[in-house]
Structure 1
Amino acid sequence: MRFWWKRFGPMFARDIRRQRISRMRGFRHWRWHLDEVFAMINGETHYLWRTVDHEGELLESYVTRTRGKKAALPFMKKALKRNGSPERITTDGLRSYQAAMRGLGNGHRQEIGRHADSRVESSHLPFRRRERAMLRFGRMASLQQFASVHANVHNHFNLERRLVDRQT
């Protein structure tokens, strides 16, 4: 499966992502949730930045060594370039987000709340489960590759149970 995914997966992932983004760009109430989660790589703390939309689908993931504005800015630029611009961006109280959004001119779109980013916090759980099963990571590149592939596969096979009625 892994060899098949490395060869053909990126083509399918790009097509699926392109179709979804084209549908969501016209959606007026598109909301993003941004958060970072730490991951240990050879005893050093690295940060995995993640963007989740209002439906719980992971849009972007990005690995850095630091957690400041210098790390948040390229992540946000990459997410906005690949996925378009949302109406609202919900974050936690980390000041790196505020500084990066001011730098991009999106300061008016940011919402900060203590429990407002629970959508993205709950999206860390499948990643953590899989990370423990893999016995952590050895390099930043392997973490970045795993995070992007895991996101695409999880988005594709994740069934929203709240949208399915009890009889089904």
Structure 2
Amino acid sequence: MGIKLLPVFEKALRKRKRPVGKSWRVDETYVQVKGHWKYLYRAVDMAGNTVDFLLRAHRDKAAARRYFEKAIEQNGEPETITVDRSGANLAALEALNAERLTPIKVRQNKYLNNVVKQDHRAIKRIIKPMMGFKDFRCARIILSGIEVMHMIRKGQMCDDGVASTAAEQFYSLVI
């Protein structure tokens, strides 16, 4: 029952999510599904707010491009995107910039991505006791629920000036 509600919570949060900054740090981390490593693409802005996330089966140009298209569509266009030395991310951004009137500035720097790498830890801390997932679809849905709660804890939901706990904010998504 709960797995069916998580996409509803994610959709409700996206409507009430605070805007993110214009400088993004993008990285991918590994998640085990059916004994195989899959890739969770994630981005945070300079302040550490989660921009977006996407679970993909492969770590290639197509997967990175799909992630960037989704993130830009839902959060607006960034001025700068910082990636690590991943060639797939760089190739995807170069392909996107080739189609744009105003290109996004791309920086490749291993150490500027420490913000997003530290943010991975909060997600990994929850995933590790699960010892991986049995199904890709379920993994995607459960990870979206984990990310929603992580964003609420970080204060990324507009609460209309009313100070409330994370639990109250979560319950307000349903109402």
TM-score by length of 2: 0.77
- The answer as to whether partners of 2:38 and 2:56 remain within 8 angstroms in 1 is yes
Taking the aligned partners of 2:95 and 2:15, their CA distance within structure 1 comes to: 31
Matched residue count: 152
Question: 2:81 is matched with which residue?
Answer: 89
- The answer as to whether partners of 2:24 and 2:81 remain within 8 angstroms in 1 is yes
| Equivalent residues in 2 for 1:109-124, closer than 5 Å | 109-124=105-120
1:95 deviation in Å?
A: 0.7
- The answer as to whether partners of 1:90 and 1:112 remain within 8 angstroms in 2 is yes
Q: Which among 24, 44, 57 is matched to residue 52 of structure 1? A: 44
1:134 deviation in Å?
A: 2.5
Percent sequence identity over aligned pairs: 24
Question: 1:13 is matched with which residue?
Answer: 13
Secondary structure of residue in 1 paired with 2:132: coil
CA 1:101/1:41 → structure 2, altered by over 3 Å: closer, same or farther?
A: same
- The answer as to whether partners of 1:54 and 1:119 remain within 8 angstroms in 2 is yes
CA 1:11/1:115 → structure 2, altered by over 3 Å: closer, same or farther?
A: closer
CA 1:50/1:3 → structure 2, altered by over 3 Å: closer, same or farther?
A: closer
Q: Which among 54, 62, 71 is matched to residue 79 of structure 1? A: 71
AA matched with 1:16: R
CA 1:89/1:138 → structure 2, altered by over 3 Å: closer, same or farther?
A: same
Q: Which moved more, 1:7-16 or 1:44-53?
A: 7-16
Secondary structure of residue in 2 paired with 1:86: coil
Taking the aligned partners of 1:38 and 1:75, their CA distance within structure 2 comes to: 15
Determine if the alignment matches structure 1 residue 36 to structure 2 residue 36: no
Question: 1:148 is matched with which residue?
Answer: 144
Taking the aligned partners of 1:137 and 1:93, their CA distance within structure 2 comes to: 28
CA 1:8/1:104 → structure 2, altered by over 3 Å: closer, same or farther?
A: closer
TM-score by length of 1: 0.79
Q: Which moved more, 1:8-17 or 1:118-127?
A: 8-17
AA matched with 1:152: V
Name stretches of at least 5 consecutive residues in structure 1 with no aligned partner.
160-168
Question: 1:136 is matched with which residue?
Answer: 132
AA matched with 2:65: L
Taking the aligned partners of 2:10 and 2:73, their CA distance within structure 1 comes to: 18
Taking the aligned partners of 2:145 and 2:12, their CA distance within structure 1 comes to: 11
- The answer as to whether partners of 1:61 and 1:144 remain within 8 angstroms in 2 is no
Relative contact order, CA 8 A, sep 6+: which one is greater? 2
Deviations 1:66-100 (A, max 9, x none): 11102111111111111101111011010111111
CA RMSD of aligned residues (A): 2.5
Determine if the alignment matches structure 1 residue 65 to structure 2 residue 61: no
